[in-house]
């Protein structure tokens, strides 16, 4: 069996054992490098190509044993590592609930206190930043951990942009008087400010995600 066929057999066995995504791809890269390094060393020691490939395959381990080892180690990981997509969806949902809850509380507080219109406007702008800041921290964590594959990460970034860059607490100027401002709760429009937040969100998420994915190339 050629090394490429061996790698293909390992890939299939990993799939059969439910190992996929970045974890599977990263392991396959390592096994590929291991096989190639071993073959190179054996050829250097005087083995012919067929024997070198056979010995390297045997030393690496059977596709079944490698897939089982990958599964065992994955099971030892935390719940978050084992089910990254589900875990990040749940944590994302919790972030949304936390943001909405804190905004609702802030909204009620501002309404009941009846601050001056200028104070309410300033406080509203600041409170509207809260979900964005919480969400950015969450997104940065996702990017740094590299638990999600590209598609899932792009999806969570898009959702974060859609949700976090909207304004939730709005001042209703039609009802506002000279002294007080009336607050309402709902998804706001996309203003220039929201656009800037989208830009910063995308920039930060790419800043933390891409460097880990780019391989530093050196000549050897």
Partner 1 sequence: MPRDLFIDGVPELLMLRLLARKEMYGYELVSEISKRSNNVFTFGEGCIYPILHRLVRQKELSVRKDTVSGRSRRYYKLTKLGTKRLTTLETSWSNVSRGVESFGKELGHAT
* Contacts with partner 1, residue ranges (CB under 8 A): 23, 26-27, 29-34, 36-38, 59-62, 65-66, 69-70, 72-74, 76-78, 81, 215-218, 220
- Compare residues 56 and 183 and give the one whose CB is closer to partner 1: 56
CB of 38 to partner 1, least distance (A): 7
| N-terminal to C-terminal alpha carbon distance within the chain | 29
Nearer to partner 1 by Cβ, of 79 and 108: the residue is: 79
Backbone angles phi, psi at 46, to 5 degrees: 105, 5
β 182-185/169-172 pair status: antiparallel
Q: Which pair of tokens denotes residue 114?
A: 């009846």
Q: What three-state secondary structure class fits 93?
A: helix
**Closest approach of partner 1 to the CB of residue 85, in Å:** 16
Of 29 and 172, the one with the shorter C-beta distance to partner 1 is 29
- Min. distance of Cβ 174 from partner 1 in angstroms? 53
Calculate the CA 5 to chain-centre distance.
Answer: 32
Q: Is the separation of the CB atoms in 212 and 146 below 8 Å? A: yes
Long-range CB contacts (< 8 A, 24+ apart) of 188-194? 188/128, 190/165, 190/166, 191/167, 193/167, 194/165, 194/166, 194/167
Q: Name the minimum Å distance from CB 77 to partner 1.
A: 6
Nearer of residues 51 and 77 to partner 1, judged by Cβ: 77
| Cβ closest to partner 1, residue 193 vs residue 208 | 208
Minimum CB distance to partner 1, residue 151 (Å): 20
The CB-of-44 to partner 1 minimum distance in angstroms stands at 13
For residues 59 and 151, which CB has a smaller minimum distance to partner 1 in the complex? 59
CA-to-CA distance for 186 and 110, rounded, in angstroms? 16
Alpha carbon distance 85, 158 (integer Å): 15
């Amino acid at each position: 069996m050629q090394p490429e066929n061996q790698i293909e057999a390992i890939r299939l066995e990993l799939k059969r054992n439910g190992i996929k995504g970045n974890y599977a791809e990263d392991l396959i890269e390592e096994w590929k490098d291991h096989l190639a390094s071993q073959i190179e060393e054996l050829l250097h020691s005087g083995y012919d190509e067929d024997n070198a490939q056979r010995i390297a395959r045997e030393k690496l381990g059977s596709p079944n044993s490698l897939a089982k080892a990958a599964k065992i180690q994955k099971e030892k990981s935390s719940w978050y590592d084992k089910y990254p997509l589900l875990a990040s969806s749940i944590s994302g949902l919790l972030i949304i609930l936390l943001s909405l809850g804190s905004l609702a509380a802030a909204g009620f507080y501002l309404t009941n206190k009846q601050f001056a219109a200028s104070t309410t406007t300033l406080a509203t702008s600041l409170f509207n930043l809260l979900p964005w800041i919480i969400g950015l921290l969450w997104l940065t964590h996702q990017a740094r951990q590299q638990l999600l594959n590209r598609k899932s990460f792009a999806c969570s970034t898009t959702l974060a942009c859609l949700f976090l860059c909207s304004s939730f607490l709005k001042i209703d100027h039609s009802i506002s008087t000279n002294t007080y401002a009336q607050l309402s709760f709902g998804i706001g429009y996309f203003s220039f400010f929201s656009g800037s937040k989208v830009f910063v969100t995308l920039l930060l998420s790419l800043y933390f995600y891409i460097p880990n994915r780019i391989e530093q190339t050196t000549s050897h």
